[in-house]
Amino acid sequence: MIKDLFSVTKFILSFAVSLSALFAYIMAKGEFGTDMLLATLSVLLVAMGVSTLNQVQEYKEDSKMERTKNRPIASGRMSPATGVIIAAVLIALSMVLIYDLLGITGINLFMFAFIWYNAMYTPLKKKSALAVIPGAILGVIPPAVGWLVAGHSLKELEFIAIAAYYFIWQVPHFWLLVMLFHGDYKEGGYPTAMRLFGQGSLQRLTFVWLIFTIQAGIFLVWAFEVYPVTIGLSILVGIWAFISSFELLRPRFELKNARSVFWKINAAFLAIIILISIDEYIKHHIS
């Protein structure tokens, strides 16, 4: 039962999403706090809730795909009604917690995430291979929560840089997954960028978006006015990401190699966030 609960809520992915709220808090405030942990927990709860409802919405498609057919609802181990109850409880708890932290602003953010993900993005995935682009807006919500709980405004240049970074990164992130699991998506009846553009064009488009992500990373480092050592380390990470991206332009690129690019790019993305978080923490405690 516990294993199924972890699976239906996509706990590992939801936890990874919630960390973006934690890092944004540190980047904004330069310190740790109890409200940081509560903000992270609130994002974890809403992410688990909307993920569970997503599995309720897509269990028929999931049952047709090798990668997802053993999920609790898709496999029949859990009923859709149970999934709805779990989702409702998690989302309700997240709303209570975020209201305590941010008031009606927090409720609005979480309601937007819920509506955008489950009522817009999830149905759109079945109709358009480009659903990932509007769907990428969702990646901005968790860091927005951390930033606001830290007492800052979303109008600040630093947060705009964070939002751009998270938004742009999600597109190549998802397209690399499409390269890896395009057969599964086809079996599930989803239109994919692979079918829309073809393998070669998708590789080139993904490369372009990865370059955009690197540029967004440069903007992010600049916006935070970090120490020279952080700039130097960020440059090294950027060069590594740039070299890794070029793998997509190889004439004989095999789709299985998308996994390597996927992990390298995500590691580079996370490294920049961690470097800036450490930089802001040090600046706060020195000053």
Q: How far apart are CA 189 and CA 85, in angstroms?
A: 27
Query: Helix, strand, coil shares of the chain as percentages rounded to 5?
Result: 85, 0, 15
Q: Which CATH class is domain 1-153?
A: mainly alpha
Instruction: Report pLDDT for 287.
Output: 64
Tokens 């996509």 correspond to: 10
If we measure between CA atoms, which residue out of 18, 42, 24 comes closest to residue 110? Answer: 42
Asked whether the domain spanning 155-287 has the same topology as the one spanning 1-153, the reply is no
pLDDT digits (tens, 9 = 90+) for 218-232: 999 999 999 999 999
Distance of CA 251 to the CA centre of its chain: 30
Where do the domains of the chain lie?
Answer: 1-153, 155-287
Instruction: Report pLDDT for 286.
Output: 85
**Whether 150 contacts 29, CB under 8 Å:** yes
pLDDT digits (tens, 9 = 90+) for 75-103: 999 999 999 999 999 999 999 999 999 99
At the topology level of CATH, where does 155-287 sit?
Four Helix Bundle (Hemerythrin (Met), subunit A) (1.20.120)
Q: What is the pTM of this model?
A: 0.94
- Full pLDDT tens readout for the chain, 287 residues: 788 899 999 999 999 999 999 999 999 999 999 999 999 999 999 999 999 999 999 989 888 888 888 999 999 999 999 999 999 999 999 999 999 999 999 999 999 999 999 999 999 988 998 999 999 999 999 999 999 999 999 999 999 999 999 999 999 999 999 898 888 888 888 888 888 888 899 999 999 999 999 999 999 999 999 999 999 999 999 999 999 999 999 888 888 888 999 999 999 999 999 999 999 999 988 86
